[in-house]
Copies of this chain bind each other. A is one copy, B any other.
Amino acid sequence: MELYAVIMAGGVGARFWPRSKEKKPKQLLRIFGPNSMIQDTVARLEGLVEKQNIFVITNKIQKAEIKNQLPDIPAENIIDEPFGKNTAAAIGLASIIVGKKNKEAVILTLPADHIIKEKDDFQKTLSSAAKFAFENKGLVTIGINPTRPETGYGYIQIEEKPVEDNIFKVLTFAEKPNYATAVRFIESGDFLWNSGMFIWRIDTILNEIEVLMPELFEGLKEIEKSLNSPNFEKTLSHVYGQLKSVSIDYGVMEKSQNVFLTRGMFTWSDVGSWEEVYQLTEKDEDGNALVGNTYCQNTSDSYIYSPKKFTAVVGVENLIVINTDDALLICRRDKAQEVKTVVDYLKMKKLTEHL
C-alpha cells in the first residue's frame, strides 16, 4: 500500500484579518510558535508519508510563499488551481495528478490549517484508516469527539456498532447546527465533528465522482489527457472555468453509500477565529496572551498581538488586539466571528491594500 498526502491550502482565512491576507492566509501564518500551520501539517506526516508523496493544492497567489515555506516538498508537487472551485474539484484534480503514478495508492486529504497536538496518535489513526480504505475501497473520514455544542463545525452521525475496530458506517452528514441542535447532537452520543480530513484510494474516489458528479468527472478526464503536455495550463483553466463550486461533502460524501468514519484520537481544532487562538495559547496569571511589544495594566483575559509597534493596554478585559504593520483590529473576544464582516467592508470599499 502506497501512501500519499494532499494538503488543501486554498483558504483565505478572512476571520484572521488583519494578520491573514490574500497572499498570506491563516495556513501560512506563524500563529503558534516558530512554524506556520502548513509547516506543522507537513511535519506531522514525518515518518508516515514520504516527502515526494506530499502534494499541496493551492492558488496562484499563495504558491510562491508555500514553496518558500516547504523547501523539502518537490516544487512540482505544489499545484495551483486557476480558480477556487471548492473541495470536490481540488480533490478530483489531485486524484488524477497523483493517479498517474499509482491508481491504487491511498491519499490522505488534509486541511493545511488545523491544529493537532498528538502526532503519534494522529499517525496511528491515519494508518489504520488507510489500511481499511485500501482493503475495503471505502471513503473514510475522520470524526472528532465533540467536547462542546459548537455551532461552527459540521457534524457526522455514525452507526452505533463499528464495522471493525474504530471504523463506523456513516449515517448522515449535518451542516453547522444552531445551538439547540448542537446540544441535541452532543447528547445523542452518535454525532462527531466533521474534521474535513479524508482517506481513500484514488480509484475509489474517482469512481464515486464518476457516478455522483459526472460533469466534474468529464472535466477531470479532459485534464488528465493534457497532463505533461504543453497545453495543460490552458486545458486546466478552460475546464475549471466551466466547473461548479461544490464541496466534496455535498458532492460525494453525503450521497455515497460507501462512507465510513474513524474517530480521531487526538486533540484537534480548526482554529476558526482569534477566540480559538486565544484558547489555544498559553496565558499569563492575568489570563492574557501577549505577543510582541506590549505593556498591560489592569488588563485581563485578552490576546494582544503587536510584534513591532509598542502597544499599551489599560483597564480592559476580554479583548483581542491585532496590531500589524498596516492595520489594527480591536475586537471583543466573543465577537471574534464578526471579524469576517470587516473583510467584507474592506472588499465593498475596495480598500484592497488591507486585504
Contact = CB atoms under 8 A, between A and B. Distances in A.
A329 interface: yes
A327 B354 contact: no
A316 B342 contact: no
A295 interface: yes
A345 B345 CA distance: 37
A1 interface: no
Nearest to A322: B312
Contacts of A329: 311-314
Given A298-B338, A335-B298, A341-B297, A327 B315 contact: no
A354 B321 CA distance: 19
B332 A328 contact: no
Nearest to A295: B345
A316 B328 contact: no
A350 B306 CA distance: 19
B342 A297 contact: yes
A351 B310 contact: yes
Given A297-B342, A345-B295, A306 B328 contact: yes
A310 B295 contact: no
A310 B338 contact: no
Is chain A's interface secondary structure helix, strand, loop, or mixed overall? strand
A202 to B, nearest CB: 44
Nearest to A333: B315
Interface string A321-355: 10100111111101100110110010000010010
Nearest to A299: B330
A334 B315 contact: yes
A319 interface: yes
Interface string A276-293: 000000000000000000
A225 interface: no
Contacts of A17: 312
A219 to B, nearest CB: 40
A295 B18 CA distance: 13
A60 interface: no
A298 B17 CA distance: 17
A307 B306 CA distance: 19
B327 A310 contact: yes
Contact of A314 (B297, B315, B323, B339): B339
A309 interface: yes
A330 B342 contact: no
A231 to B, nearest CB: 43
9 contacts: A297-B345, A298-B338, A309-B326, A312-B330, A312-B339, A313-B329, A314-B330, A314-B335, A316-B331
Instruction: Give the 8 A-B CB pairs with smallest separation, nearest first.
Output: A315-B335, A315-B332, A314-B331, A312-B342, A311-B328, A310-B327, A313-B330, A314-B338
